[in-house]
Amino acid sequence: MTLTIPKSLTSNSTLERGPDADLDNAILDAVALIFAASSQAQAASSTVVSQGGGTVPRYPVPGHQPYKVFWTSTGPRIEAVFPHP
């Protein structure tokens, strides 16, 4: 399967690149999977409960524990990416 990173992510001037290019690329690959195959990403995600009581999928960034992509299935939409146990 070939995954394409949405243009909105690659052209977004607020997207920050860190000093670890491998981590940056792994995050973009995870985001691309969520957009291209959300049901597959959902199956590989765990969930956390928000303060409002809703559930938020938490997809692990492959090869970069403890980084996770937090996303919602509406859209889908990426909510945050950060280290999380």
Per residue in 21-45, pLDDT (tens digit) is 899 899 999 999 999 999 999 999 9
Q: Measured between alpha carbons, how far is 29 from 31 in angstroms, rounded to an integer?
A: 5
Using a cut of 0.85, tell me whether the model's pTM lies above it.
no
Classify 39 as helix, strand or coil: helix
26 vs 2, more confident: 26
Per residue in 55-77, pLDDT (tens digit) is 999 999 999 999 999 999 888 99
User: What is the CA angle 65-35-74, rounded to 5?
Assistant: 100
